Amino acid sequence: MKGYTIFTGVNGVIDICDKINIYDNTEMLKIVMAIEKGKIEWKDKKIPGWLRNFFKSI
């Protein structure tokens, strides 16, 4: 699953980063989600399948 491997280390950096932006380049590069101070903010109405699958797996 493309993209899923990116998230294997994200838990370790959430606590040390002020903000993490998650981008999707399936069609064209765009920001789809941000994590700021441990809270998720959706930046796009359409959630990519790889990101949806990731959340189902955790």
> What is the number of structural domains in the chain?
1
3-40: pLDDT as tens digits: 455 566 666 777 788 888 999 998 899 999 998 887 88
Distance CA 7, CA 16 (A): 15
Classify residue 9: in a domain, yes or no.
yes
pLDDT confidence band for 53 (50 / 70 / 90): confident
Structural domain for 25, as ranges = 4-51
Would 11 be classed as within a structural domain?
Answer: yes
> Residue 26 domain-assigned?
yes
Question: Within a domain: residue 56?
Answer: no
Is 36 inside a domain boundary?
Answer: yes
Is residue 14 one of the residues assigned to a domain? Answer: yes
Residue 48 has pLDDT above 50, yes or no: yes
Question: 51 and 37 in contact (C-beta within 8 Å)?
Answer: no
Selection from 54, 46, 44, 52 nearest residue 10 by Cα: 54
Flag whether 58 is in a domain: no
17 within some domain: yes
pTM: 0.70
